[in-house]
Structure 1
Amino acid sequence: MVVEAHSGKVLIATNSTVKRPVASLTKVATAVLVVDWAEAAGVDVATREVVVPASVAQLPGANPMKLVPGERMSMLDALSSAVMGSDNAAALTLADHVGREFLARKGRSGDPVQAFVVEMNHLAEALEMGKTKFTNPHGLELPSSVGLSTAADIAKLSIYAMRRPGFTFISRQKVREVTVNGAEGARTFKVNNTNELVSETIIGLKTGTTRAAGECLSVAVERAPLIRPKADGSKGVTPRRLIVVLLNSPDRFGRAKALIPRGWAIYDEWVRGGAVVENRKREILSVPDPR
């Protein structure tokens, strides 16, 4: 799916409502939920520390920082590793920490990661992602734990995520150095963004790959605002941003690069024609603000 984020205009859509595993695109929901929680709770993600939980020891998949239970890092560094480096252990650590906060606020006990996943699904419901169900915070396909979504739903999630400066700040970086504090002291890692398209104009979001999901990608593409004179003599400013979502695409980066100019061409033609909408439900992807 290709959609212009500010107008919601759907520009290209093929099989965009078919449910599929979405791999680490799941981490977009994880990260934006953490960012929203931190803002609501007045928490500074740069100084709040998170503790690697015991469950990381049983987690398959990417653990590039070789995190072990009991180690500590800032929430910002965990977010950076999860979003940029697609770090499953960092995503699980964030979910465990914030899930404990959710449980404490409700005066309940239980599995903090599952409490976090419940809130991920509440977020999906609030964003009207009607065909999405998250089962974990990282997107791995575990026994009896395979999350499903659609290109259209991931586009909604991506539009919302890119409205959040705390998320955008992380997802648009090419590289970042993070620090982990362990039993032997502090160690640093260079986290490279798995989204190789990130540039001055491509400002996020996320990659994902598993055997079941194939190669997945969501990118946000920024363009200079459109400035036009208004009848009263003032100038109207129209921001412009494309969201491109690909699921199970063998050449996700090449395909995305081809879809970006096509999307802009379709959008420009629509604007020149007066931005007419004949069937809002079919032509516009509506993304509410759940906050």
Structure 2
Amino acid sequence: MKLFAGTAVRRGGVGAALTAAAAALAVALPAPVAQAAAAAAPPGIQAKGAYLQDGGSGRSLWSRAADTPREMASTTKVMTAIVVLEARGLNLNRTITVKRAYRDYVARHGASTADLRTGDKLTIRQLLYGMLLPSGCDASYALADAFGTGRTMTVRTQSFIARMNARARTLGLTRTHYDSFDGIAHGRTYTSPRDLVRLARHALRHPLFAAIVKTARTRQQAANVHRTYTWYNTNRLLGSYRGALGIKTGTARRSGDCLVFAAQRGGRTVVGAVLNDPYRFRDAARMLDYAFRRR
């Protein structure tokens, strides 16, 4: 499957004639019609892929290449959280000991981190905060290692990733595949904007997930030592956009900046996603404004 899609722009010939005709038509349109046409899409969105949906009705509000698969960076961690939260017999107070391997992994990849310290014991709940707020790949590794099955860390994390893919299939995410537990892709981690929004809507049904991703800052105390972790949410919509519900950021060289987001106003929830967008927060705000102006 081709992961990256481009759009060719024709210059001259029929393309130039159509452009000229469109420009002439725009000039000829009455002002109210021209204004309606301009309002048909949120302005200036730079995302390569985007999708916007009414969270209640499921009605599509606007899209761009909504079904084109692209790399998604740390928005992967939404599915990591789902697999953990839906694990049979889940005990959120179960403690996990931080292994040196988790720290070494982050250092090796230059990845985002919750700065977990070797030997510290943190609960599953705390690790979810460490994964979803500062986008800690070390916390994601700890969860995949703890919830996977097998005798080695490699086998356990691979089994966890297999569960992520199985859950994607049952959720009907037909243009989504994972080859990592945190978005550090090896060439086969991708999703489409529509799939990412569908996953986000499902994730928000979990009360703990919804509470975590809406949190701007948290302080968490390790269970076995006198150490406090302070984590800040990487989602800049929180605190800057009225009604923002959070969700998840993602950034990598190949994926560009990504964001899956949601907001609620007047009892109405809107969920959206942008992939490969250098202005993701600005564009998310514009998409949300556009949605809330519509009925």
- Give the TM-score band, short-chain normalised: 0.7 to 0.9
Aligned partner (choices 275, 278, 289) of residue 247 of structure 1: 275
> 1:14/1:31 Cα in 2 relative to 1: closer, same or farther (>3 Å)?
same
Q: Confirm whether residue 157 of structure 1 aligns to residue 185 of structure 2.
A: no
Aligned partner (choices 93, 116, 125) of residue 67 of structure 1: 116
In the alignment, residue 133 of structure 1 is paired with which amino acid? H
Task: Name the residue aligned to 1:194.
Answer: 234
Q: Distance in 1 between matches of 2:126 and 2:196?
A: 24
Aligned partner (choices 47, 58, 62) of residue 105 of structure 2: 58
Q: Distance in 2 between matches of 1:125 and 1:135?
A: 14
Task: Name the residue aligned to 1:127.
Answer: 171
1:203-247 Cα deviation digits (max 9, x unpaired): 12000000011110111111233xxxxxxxxxxxxxx21001011
Q: Distance in 2 between matches of 1:110 and 1:134?
A: 15
Q: How does 1:1-20 map to 2 (within 5 A)?
A: 1-20=51-70
Which is higher, the Rg of structure 1 or of structure 2? 2
Task: Name the residue aligned to 2:6.
Answer: none
Q: Distance in 2 between matches of 1:179 and 1:169?
A: 18
Q: Confirm whether residue 29 of structure 1 aligns to residue 76 of structure 2.
A: no
Q: Distance in 1 between matches of 2:279 and 2:154?
A: 42
In the alignment, residue 49 of structure 1 is paired with which amino acid? T
Q: CA deviation at 1:70?
A: 4.0
**8 A contact 2:52–2:60 mirrored in 1:** yes
Q: Distance in 2 between matches of 1:82 and 1:42?
A: 17
1:261-287 Cα deviation digits (max 9, x unpaired): 212233x0xxxxxxxxxxxxxxxxxxx
Question: How many percent of aligned residue pairs carry the same amino acid?
Answer: 27
Q: Confirm whether residue 219 of structure 1 aligns to residue 265 of structure 2.
A: no
- Matched position secondary structure for 1:114: helix
Q: Distance in 2 between matches of 1:243 and 1:65?
A: 26
> 1:71/1:195 Cα in 2 relative to 1: closer, same or farther (>3 Å)?
same
Q: CA deviation at 1:172?
A: 0.3
What is the root-mean-square deviation of aligned Cα atoms in Å?
2.1
- Matched position secondary structure for 2:246: strand
In the alignment, residue 265 of structure 2 is paired with which amino acid? R
Greater strand fraction, Structure 1 or Structure 2: 1
Task: Name the residue aligned to 1:168.
Answer: 210
- List structure 1 runs of 4+ shifted beyond 6 angstroms: none
- Matched position secondary structure for 2:143: helix
Q: Distance in 1 between matches of 2:234 and 2:276?
A: 16
Structure 2 portions without partners, runs of 5+: 1-50
1:147-178 Cα deviation digits (max 9, x unpaired): 11111110111010011101001000010012
Q: Distance in 2 between matches of 1:251 and 1:160?
A: 26
1:175-218 Cα deviation digits (max 9, x unpaired): 00123467xx3311210000011246111200000001111011
* Number of matched pairs: 240
1:51-106 Cα deviation digits (max 9, x unpaired): 23454223423354433554321111110011011010001101110113xx59xx
In the alignment, residue 89 of structure 2 is paired with which amino acid? A
Q: Confirm whether residue 90 of structure 1 aligns to residue 143 of structure 2.
A: no
Q: Distance in 1 between matches of 2:264 and 2:98?
A: 35
In the alignment, residue 10 of structure 1 is paired with which amino acid? S
Q: Distance in 1 between matches of 2:82 and 2:192?
A: 18
Q: Distance in 1 between matches of 2:266 and 2:214?
A: 17
**8 A contact 1:136–1:145 mirrored in 2:** no
Structure 1 portions without partners, runs of 5+: 226-239, 269-291
Q: Confirm whether residue 263 of structure 1 aligns to residue 294 of structure 2.
A: no
**8 A contact 2:120–2:222 mirrored in 1:** yes
Task: Name the residue aligned to 1:236.
Answer: none
In the alignment, residue 72 of structure 2 is paired with which amino acid? V
**8 A contact 1:61–1:88 mirrored in 2:** no
1:21-75 Cα deviation digits (max 9, x unpaired): 10000000101211111xx4141x1x21112345422342335443355432111
**8 A contact 2:113–2:139 mirrored in 1:** no
Q: Confirm whether residue 118 of structure 1 aligns to residue 165 of structure 2.
A: no
> 1:189/1:42 Cα in 2 relative to 1: closer, same or farther (>3 Å)?
closer
In the alignment, residue 98 of structure 2 is paired with which amino acid? V
